[in-house]
Structure 1
């Protein structure tokens, strides 16, 4: 990943929290060509030592290349938005602010038991905020028996991790305030998230 020094984010707490907060990722494998799938990828462990896990459908083209020891690239995306130079006090060049984490990892296929445990954890993670959650244990047994053979679960053991946060570092305070106000007023939840990240990065909260 191209990372100018001022945008690099290698702090372990930043990386771990970012993955937890932005689990919907691009999962990339090299087959006969580069292949990508967009899936939730969850993290297990802590900021000092963690692994990732997910699953894909067996009819996915990536399944052929999903093998123990194969390398995968997982890209976690944070808030991002176009920033118009018309928002600045002086004439400048427009840009795009964003945050992301790239993880290069080795694949290890899950056992049937590991797959069920990880699915249970994943369902609980996303259902617990629902008004009437439907947990894994609530899914009819016959339905599970029919669907489990159709997917393959896997662990991802990271060996290279890179974070980036391009958030208007080194810009004048008045430009940062103008940019974040425009983002806040856009009506987009993701724009507001980015505005909050810019303020936090530049200590203008």
Structure 2
């Protein structure tokens, strides 16, 4: 990851919270070529010593290469948007605001009991906010057992983490106000999330 010092994030709290808030990750590994899969990945443990867990389908081409001690890269992506220099008080170069966390990790395949527990936690996290949640124990047993036969769960133990939050920290207060106003014009949820991040980041820089 290219991360200029003014945008680099090293705080374990930022990294841990970011992963929790953006759990849909890209899992990249080297097989007979570079292979990538988009999957939900959750964190387990304290913010300064956590591991990650997820699963993939056994029919996925990555499964052949997913083995104990295999090195993988996880990419967690936050809200992002094009920032036009036409929004600035003076002509400048347009850019892109974004945030991301990259986690290099080593794989440990899960046993079946670990996979079942991981599925319970995964389903619980996302069903708990539903109007009529359907939890792990509510899934018909025949459907659940067939699903478990077709997937492989794994732990991921981080070996290196890079994080960046490029959120117009180099801009004047006037430009920041203009950026926020333009991003809010289209009522896009992604742009609104980015606006919240820009405000939070630049408010903390001012304090």
In which range does the TM-score fall when normalised by the shorter chain? Answer: over 0.9
Question: What residue number does 1:162 align with?
Answer: 162
Question: What residue number does 2:191 align with?
Answer: 191
The alignment partner of 2:75 has SS state of strand
Shift of 1:202: 1.0
**1:107 is the counterpart of 2:107:** yes
Deviations 1:87-106 (A, max 9, x none): 11110111000000000000
- Counterpart CA distance in 2 for 1:125 and 1:94 is 38
**1:90 is the counterpart of 2:90:** yes
The alignment partner of 2:155 has SS state of strand
Question: What residue number does 1:143 align with?
Answer: 143
Stretches (4+) displaced over 2 A: none
Question: What residue number does 1:47 align with?
Answer: 47
Question: What residue number does 1:3 align with?
Answer: 3
- Counterpart CA distance in 2 for 1:167 and 1:68 is 37
Count the aligned residue pairs. 205
Deviations 1:73-119 (A, max 9, x none): 00000010001111111101110000000000000000000000000
Question: What residue number does 2:69 align with?
Answer: 69
- Counterpart CA distance in 1 for 2:52 and 2:119 is 13
Shift of 1:186: 2.0
What is the TM-score when the length of structure 2 is the normalising length?
0.97
Deviations 1:31-81 (A, max 9, x none): 011000000000001211100000000000000000000000000000100
Shift of 1:185: 1.7
- Counterpart CA distance in 1 for 2:46 and 2:191 is 29
RMSD over equivalenced CA pairs, Å = 1.1
Shift of 1:13: 0.2
- Counterpart CA distance in 2 for 1:60 and 1:111 is 19
What is the TM-score when the length of structure 1 is the normalising length?
0.98
The alignment partner of 1:115 has SS state of helix
